Amino acid sequence: MGLLEGKNALIFGLANDKSIAWGITQAFKREGANIGISYAGEMLEKRVKPLAEKVDCKWVEECDVTKDDQINLVAEKAAKHFGKIDVLVHSIAFAGRDELSKPYYQTSREGFKNALDISVFSFVALTNAFHSIMNKNASVMCLTYYGSVKVAPHYNVMGVAKAALESSTRYLAYDLGPEKIRVNAISAGPIRTLAAAGVGGFRDMYKHFADMAPMRENVTIEDVGNAAVFLASDLSTRITGEVLYVDSGFNSVGVQMTDKGNEKSE
Ligand code: NAP
């Protein structure tokens, strides 16, 4: 029997088969979850529907998380279709190209607001909108990145947004703890996705990561999907307010050296 058998899981942020949300969706399906998918933009026919069909997902709903009416409507539709839900995954982020290439101090007011609205407030808003249909022992999660804690060149306002997202995770966990609803974040190492392509210098950073991480390997959407299964399942029943790193150990290293630098000097 799968770890998520009998659980209703909603996943927000599926853009294509490279999306972290797709890694999570596939892992949830493998473990027996009943899946609902939400997406933004106009990719339904071309990208999202074929993927939804692969996992027998009958509930596919558009939701632009900058719009309160769309969030409320999608929550109503979920209530009608699923009754109650057990898992809510937020895999959404956005920042403009300028914000991810210029120096951080040149961030515009509009760019700052937009990035924080889509990448952070939406997590709070979705949790609020779905709260009334969450089962006891429900699990809520979001996706974050180490640029929240340390500087990742060009990550800029997204780093600031991820810091706020991780903090929101703790506040939401505090609020919902008495109801036995858990809220956690997964901090993934760099993965080649649409969102990542917008970050200046991502290719170099991706390569540097594999050279420097203790496990000398990049992270895959399957790795993140498996960690998400753990957080969604009853195996993590007493874990809340945490940031779980899926990063080949990268965040644990203080002084980074190449393999050459690690060789003993003669
Ligand atoms: P992705 O496939 O591009 O997913 C990002 C998703 O956010 C897309 O589905 C996008 O939809 C959605 N989105 C953007 N604006 C939205 C809005 N207004 N309303 C609703 N959805 C909106 O990239 P990803 O890398 O898998 O990103 C998923 C999450 O993982 C993000 O939180 C990201 O920061 C995080 N993360 C990524 C990495 C990495 O290296 N890739 C590492 C750590 C954490 P559209 O494309 O249709 O606009």
- List the domains of the chain with CATH numbers: 8-250 (3.40.50.720)
Q: Which of 28, 39, 129, 21 lies closest to 79, judged by CA? A: 129
pLDDT tens string 205-263: 999 999 999 999 999 999 999 999 999 999 999 999 999 999 999 999 998 877 665 55
Pocket test for ligand 1, best of 17, 20, 114 (most atoms within 8 A of CB): 20
CA 212 to centroid of ligand 1, rounded, Å: 25
237 half-sphere exposure, CB direction, 13 A CA radius: 5
Q: Which of 39, 146, 155, 245 is catalytic?
A: 155
Burial of 64 (0-12, 13-18, 19+ CB in 10 A): middle
Lowest mean pLDDT among 40-44, 109-113, 159-163: 40-44
Residues 6+ apart with CB under 8 A from 264: none
Residues 6+ apart with CB under 8 A from 177: 240, 241
Q: Which of 29, 91, 22, 19 lies closest to 57, judged by CA? A: 29
Q: Is 145 a catalytic residue?
A: yes
Instruction: Give me the residue label for tokens 């959404």.
Output: 92
186 half-sphere exposure, CB direction, 13 A CA radius: 30
CA 91 to centroid of ligand 1, rounded, Å: 6
Rounded to whole angstroms, the Cα distance separating 47 from 30 reads 21
What is the model's pLDDT at position 263? 56
What is the model's pLDDT at position 76? 98
pLDDT tens string 13-24: 999 999 999 999
Longest Cα pair distance anywhere in the chain, in angstroms?
A: 70
Reading the block at residue 208, the tokens are 């540097």
Percent of the chain with pLDDT over 90: 91
Are 92 and 65 within 8 A, CB to CB? yes
229 lines ligand 1 (CB under 6 A): no
Burial of 175 (0-12, 13-18, 19+ CB in 10 A): middle
**Pairing relationship of beta strands 134-144 and 85-90 according to DSSP bridges:** parallel
Pocket test for ligand 1, best of 43, 62, 92 (most atoms within 8 A of CB): 92
Reading the block at residue 94, the tokens are 């956005």
Beta strands in the chain (DSSP E): 8-12, 34-39, 59-62, 85-90, 134-144, 182-188, 243-246
Rounded to whole angstroms, the Cα distance separating 112 from 17 reads 28
pTM for the whole structure:
0.97
* For range 185-195, the mean pLDDT: 97
What is the model's pLDDT at position 138? 98
Q: Which atom of ligand 1 is nearest to the CA of 146?
A: 43
CA 63 to centroid of ligand 1, rounded, Å: 13
pLDDT of 266 strictly over 50? no
Rounded to whole angstroms, the Cα distance separating 242 from 230 reads 13
Nearest protein CA to atom 34 of ligand 1, as residue: 93
Helix (H) or strand (E) holding 196: helix 194-197
Nearest protein CA to atom 11 of ligand 1, as residue: 40
3-state secondary structure of 139: strand
3-state secondary structure of 159: helix
Q: Is 39 a catalytic residue?
A: no
What is the model's pLDDT at position 261? 56
3-state secondary structure of 150: coil
